[in-house]
A and B are shown apart, each in its own frame.
Chain A
């Protein structure tokens, strides 16, 4: 009788473990399958797409924030604005749009966004003297029509470098 009790308890413990293990393994696979975005080679394509989207969002937020603020927009077309002003305007726009409690919670990488816009030719660079005598880069908008033409040329240049991925007469509108 004692042996049966002892064996029963041991078997129950093992059976409980086996059952829990199976359930956990099943739940793990099920939940990871649900949450997995990509595996192995596909991850490379997904990561590139993510990078592309993040860069696009950075430029959209930076450029959109500049054009959306009338004061900043006026100065951007005349004297130019600095990267820190672009950062402030973008963070303020994000705060207004998404209702974040404080602009301190948002960290916008303005230098990166500005560098991309300058490289694509939709911002021009000049040097301004701050009030404390320190020289700083200022950025001026080239205007939407000019920006459109320059980007079209950039797109064709990129296509030429990368092969015939797009037709020569490709237009977005």
Chain B
């Protein structure tokens, strides 16, 4: 640029400004067309992340108020507003599908002109909905692929930086795990403070929703498009942009709780069975002492039948087991043995 004179530089700047005016006017026309399409096809509600539901529910009051100020429909869920708007639409489902396809194609053309690269559809279908590894006791579940119609991603630029996380490791095991991962992975890709990220990600996600609340058949579901453009998304965390992403407990913790529950249940069952057995045995002895050997045989059969039922009831369900325990307690109580056997003997 040094070879240009001052007048030439000034004219060049004017040329570029005029060129921008040309572009602006041309693209304003395209924007109007796309806005009309987007108004009908894209959900107007907040692009909510299901995983952050716990936080979102505290904002309900504000969202409701904001909804009133924007549309004057106080107290109505955004989805209900969308549904009522759609019910006024006279277009058929096929028309809407065609409009949706045209809209996504237009977005793809625009993204291509804006130098975005389209993410391979096969990769999206294969990897985006795959379960992610557990970290810090939680597993991020992207959602069910069947709940989505269109899933298109466009990315532009790459940089490095921290990943999307809580920003701290929970315990020594997590720290050791992260350190091992960063050492084993090439170029330290797994280090949460220095991961590869896309500079800008643009996602167009069509979520399938039933036409009516009572309808669950998949062929009647309607696709509502969600659009989002985000900066600095880690390449391994693209699934966090999906609206249905949720957080589940890790397999290890789940197994631990189940194991503890099992041990606790077995302990209670064993203790109850022991109490029942002692009570039954004492009942037989007292009954025999009072009425003789014929009654002893009768009591023996009845007692052990009840005892057997209690043991069997442990297997089918916890509720049945509890019912039988209570029943056994009343039955033995009627014989008067809970008063004679101190609990400490068990």
B1 part of interface (Cβ distance < 8 Å)? yes
Q: What residues on A are CB-neighbors of B44 within 8 Å? A: 40-41
B167 within 8 A of A: yes
Inter-subunit contact A29/B23 (CB<8 Å): no
Among B14, B166, B241, the residue within 8 A (CB) of A27 is: B166
Min Cβ gap A121→B in Å is 11
Are A6 and B54 interface neighbours, CB within 8 A? no
A24 and B15 contacting across the interface, CB-CB below 8 Å: no
Complex partner residue of A24 from B34, B51, B111, B256, CB under 8 angstroms: B51
Report the separation of the CA atoms of residues A173 and B250 in the bound assembly, to the nearest whole angstrom: 64
Question: Does A152 lie at the interface of the complex (its beta carbon under 8 Å from any beta carbon of B)?
Answer: yes
- Give B287 Cβ to nearest chain A Cβ, in Å: 33
Task: With CB as the reference atom, state the residue of chain A lying closest to B45.
Answer: A40
Asked if B8 and A144 sit within 8 Å, CB to CB, the answer is yes
Contact with A along B66-107 (1 / 0, CB 8 A): 000000000000000000000000000000000000000001
Chain B 253-274, CB-CB to A under 8 Å as 1, else 0, gives: 1001100110110011000000
Mask: chain B, 166-203; 1 = CB below 8 Å from A; 0 = not: 11001000000000000000000000000000001010
**Complex interface bits, A68-92 against B, C-beta within 8 A gives 1, otherwise 0:** 1010010000000000000000000
| One of B3, B16, B256 near A60 (C-beta < 8 A) | B16
B53: CB under 8 A from chain A?
A: yes
B15 and A144 contacting across the interface, CB-CB below 8 Å: yes
- B326 within 8 Å of A by Cβ? no
Report the separation of the CA atoms of residues A54 and B166 in the bound assembly, to the nearest whole angstrom: 35
Does any Cβ of B come within 8 Å of A106's Cβ?
Answer: no
When the two chains form their complex, are residues B267 and A47 in contact, meaning their CB atoms are under 8 A apart? no
With CB as the reference atom, state the residue of chain A lying closest to B107. A47
Residues of B within 8 A of A60 (CB): 16
With contact pairs A17-B253, A151-B15 given, residues A24 and B165 touching in the complex (Cβ less than 8 Å): yes
Contact B1 A64 (CB under 8 A): yes
Contact present for A148 and B54 (CB under 8 Å): no
Residues of B close to A161: CB separation below 8 A: 25, 29
Evaluate contact between A155 and B18: CB separation under 8 angstroms: yes
**CB contact list, A132-168 vs B, under 8 A:** 144-145, 147-148, 151-152, 154-155, 158-159, 161-162, 165-166
Q: Which of B210-218, B222-230, B293-301, B305-313 participates in binding chain A? A: B222-230
Q: Tally chain A residues at the interface, Cβ within 8 Å.
A: 70
What 1/0 mask marks residues of chain A from 48 to 71 whose CB sits below 8 Å from any chain B CB?
111111111001100110011010
Which of B35-43, B123-131, B332-340 contacts the other chain?
B35-43
Bound-state Cα–Cα, A28 to B42, Å: 23
B315 on the A face (CB < 8 A): no
Q: How large is the interface on B (under 10, 10 to 19, 20 to 34, 35 or more residues)?
A: 35 or more
Name the CB-closest residue of B to A165: B25
Q: Which residue of B lies closest to A41 (CB)?
A: B38
* Residue from A13, A38, A59, A147 having most chain B Cβ neighbours under 10 A: A13
Given contacts A24-B166, A48-B30, A70-B3, contact A43 B202 (CB under 8 A): yes
A151–B52 CB distance below 8 A: no
B249 touches A56 (CB 8 A): no
Give the dominant DSSP class at B's interface.
helix
Q: Which residue of A lies closest to B12 (CB)?
A: A144
- In contact, A29 and B52 (Cβ under 8 angstroms): yes
B18 neighbours in A (Cβ, 8 Å): 148, 151-152, 154-155, 172
In the complex, the 6 A-B pairs of residues with the closest C-beta atoms, listed nearest first: A29-B52, A10-B260, A43-B227, A151-B18, A158-B25, A25-B52
Q: List 29 A-B contacts (CB under 8 A).
A: A17-B253, A24-B140, A25-B51, A26-B55, A27-B164, A28-B52, A29-B52, A35-B231, A36-B228, A36-B229, A36-B230, A36-B231, A37-B231, A38-B227, A39-B47, A39-B229, A40-B47, A41-B39, A41-B227, A44-B35, A44-B227, A48-B30, A48-B34, A51-B27, A51-B110, A54-B114, A54-B115, A67-B1, A67-B12
Binding site for A on B (CB under 8 A): 1-4, 8, 10-12, 14-31, 34-35, 38-39, 42-47, 49, 51-56, 107, 110-111, 113-115, 136-138, 140, 164-167, 170, 200, 202, 226-233, 240-241, 247, 249-250, 253, 256-257, 260-261, 263-264, 267-268
Report which A residues bind B (CB closer than 8 A). 2-3, 6-7, 9-10, 13-14, 16-17, 20-29, 31-32, 35-41, 43-56, 59-60, 63-64, 67-68, 70, 73, 120, 122, 144-145, 147-148, 151-152, 154-155, 158-159, 161-162, 165-166, 170, 172-173
Given contacts A27-B165, A39-B46, 20 further A-B contacts (CB under 8 A): A10-B256, A13-B256, A16-B170, A20-B136, A26-B54, A26-B55, A28-B49, A36-B229, A39-B226, A39-B229, A40-B43, A41-B44, A43-B227, A44-B38, A45-B31, A46-B229, A48-B110, A49-B27, A64-B12, A148-B18
